[in-house]
Amino acid sequence: MTQVTKAKEGKITNSMELVAKKEGVNPEFIRKGIAEGTIVIPANNNHHNLKPRGFGKGLSTKVNANFGTSEDYPEIDKELKKLKVAVEAGADAVMDLSTGEKITETRRTIMAETEVPLGTVPIYQATVETLNTGKAIIDMTVEDLFRVIEEHAKDGVDFITVHCGLTLETIRHLRDEDRITDIVSRGGSFMTGWMLHNEQENPLYEYYDRLLEIAYKYDVTLSLGDGLRPGCLADATDRSQIHELLILGELVDRAREAEVQVMVEGPGHVPYDQIETNIKLQKELCKGAPFYVLGPLVTDIALGYDHIVSAIGGTMAASAGADFLCYVTPAEHIGLPSVEDVREGVMASKIAAHAADIAKGVSGAKKRDLEMAKARKTLDWQRQIELAIDPKKAKESREAHNQTLKDEETCTMCGSYCAMKVVDKAL
C-alpha cells in the first residue's frame, strides 16, 4: 500500500503528519496534495531510519545532492563523507549514483546511514553488471533491468529515476532535428543504445505496468527521468525534449491511476528566458506533478562555476513552480566532485531554493532574513553568524577579513565610516 492509497481513503499517515509539522502546514493539506498527486513523500516502506520530507506544491523547495562511487573512485568511505557533508549543508534528499565496484554493498551502506530520502538510477547498476560480465550494454535483458529495480525497491530506496518516456518515436524526433549534444543523460544514452541496437521499444515504457507494480509494493516514488534533456543552450526546448515530456505526462496519469507516487525530472541546459515556459509547460502537461529540475544551467561556458550557473537557473525555475532542485557542483562538466565541491554545490542550491521560496510566498520563508536584517542593524555579529546559511563559513570569513580591525562592532569594509553608525546618530 502507498501513501496515495491512504490519502485517497482520507487517512493521514505518520509521514504526512511529520511533513506537515516540518513545513508548518496543516496535515490535511499534505493528504490532499498526495491524493491529487501534487505532493509526494518519497518514503519506501523498507527505509526504516527515514525522516520523511515532502516535495511539491505549496511546500518549500527541496535540494538533492548526488554522489556515488565510480570506476576511478571506488571507495565507499569517501562517498559516505560526501553524504554527511551534503546533509549537514542542508540537502533534503540524496541520490546514490554509484557505478564503481560493489554497487549493492555501497547502496546498502549508504541506506543505513541516510535519514533523508534516498534515490537511485537502477539502470546504472543493470548496465555496469552487464558490462562486468564481458557483454555490451545492448546485451542487457529486460529481466536484468527489472531484477535490479526490484532489488533497489526491496533495499528501501525511496525514489528511482526511470527513463520511461524515451520512446522510439522520441528518438525519431531527436534524429530529425539535429541536436548539438544529442543525449547527455547517462541513463538516456544507455537506453537509446539498447533500443536502437535491439530494434525494440524502451522496456521501461513497454512494461511500465510491471514497474508500477514494484513501485506500489514498496511505495517507491517514481522520478520519471528526462533522457533527452538538453545538454547545451542550443538544444533546449526542442521537439525531442518536449515529445518526451508529452509521454511523461501520460505516464503520470497512469501512475496516479495505479496509486503510485510520481514526480517528473526536467532540464538541463536552458537559456534563462526559456525557463519559466519549461516549468509551466511541465506543470500543465503533467497535471501538477512535482517537478525535479537538473539545474537549469543558463550558460554552457562557465566551467568551474556551474554551481553559480545552476543557482541562477534554479531560482528562476523554483520561483516559477519547480519543487525540487538537483544540485550542481563546481566540478560539473569537469570530473567527479570532491567533498568540498559537494558542500559548495548544496549551498548554492539552498540559496536558490530559499530565494525562490521568498519569491513564491512559501509560508515563513522571509523570517530568517528579517532576523538577519535586525542583527545587521544592531551590528550584532554573533547573531549574524548564527543566522547565516553557513555559520561555519560566516565565522571563518569574518575572522579572516577583520584581523586588523580596531573596532569590534564594525567591519573592514567601511571601518568607522559605517553607514549604520552614522545614520543611528543622525536619525
Binding residues: 66, 95, 124, 163, 185-187, 226-229, 265, 269, 292, 333, 411, 414, 418
Which of 296, 263, 262 has its CA nearest to residue 278? Answer: 296
Decide whether 264 or 348 has the Cβ nearer to a second copy: 348
Rounded Cα–Cα distance for residues 261 and 52 (Å)? 14
CB atoms under 10 Å from CB of 424, counted, come to 12
Rounded Cα–Cα distance for residues 208 and 148 (Å)? 15
Q: Is 168 in the site for a second copy (CB under 8 A)?
A: no
Region near a second copy per CB under 8 A, out of 5-13, 86-94, 209-217, 367-375: 367-375
CB of 288 within 8 A of CB of 251?
no
* Interacting residues with a second copy between 101 and 140 (CB under 8 A): 124, 127-128, 137
Decide whether 71 or 257 has the Cβ nearer to a second copy: 71
Decide whether 7 or 352 has the Cβ nearer to a second copy: 352
Q: Is 347 in the site for a second copy (CB under 8 A)?
A: yes
Q: Is 226 in the site for a second copy (CB under 8 A)?
A: no
Rounded Cα–Cα distance for residues 143 and 155 (Å)? 18
Among 130, 161, 241, 319, binds a second copy (CB under 8 A): 319
Annotated binding residues for substrate: 66, 95, 124, 163, 185-187, 226-229, 265, 292
CB atoms under 10 Å from CB of 128, counted, come to 19
* Interacting residues with a second copy between 29 and 58 (CB under 8 A): none
With CB under 8 A as the rule, give the number of residues binding a second copy.
107
State how far Cα 296 lies from the chain centre: 11
CB of 125 within 8 A of CB of 95?
no
Among 8, 32, 154, 186, binds a second copy (CB under 8 A): 186
Q: Is 246 in the site for a second copy (CB under 8 A)?
A: no
Among 298, 325, 328, 342, binds a second copy (CB under 8 A): 298
409: its cell numbers: 562592532
Q: Is 272 in the site for a second copy (CB under 8 A)?
A: yes
Q: Is 157 in the site for a second copy (CB under 8 A)?
A: no
Q: Is 364 in the site for a second copy (CB under 8 A)?
A: no
Amino acid at 210: R
Region near a second copy per CB under 8 A, out of 81-89, 111-119, 208-216, 293-301: 293-301
SS3 322: coil
Among 300, 339, 379, 383, binds a second copy (CB under 8 A): 300
Listed in sequence order, the DSSP H helices in 363-417 are 367-377, 381-387, 391-401
Q: What share of the chain is helix, strand, coil (3-state, %, to 5)?
A: 55, 10, 40
Among 248, 342, 356, 362, binds a second copy (CB under 8 A): 356
Q: Is 413 in the site for a second copy (CB under 8 A)?
A: yes
Which of 261, 295, 262 has its CA nearest to residue 278? Answer: 295
Residues 6+ apart with CB under 8 A from 323: 55, 56, 57, 59, 61, 62, 263, 290, 291, 292
Decide whether 44 or 274 has the Cβ nearer to a second copy: 274
Q: Is 339 in the site for a second copy (CB under 8 A)?
A: no
CB of 115 to a second copy, least distance (A): 24
Among 206, 335, 382, 409, binds a second copy (CB under 8 A): 335
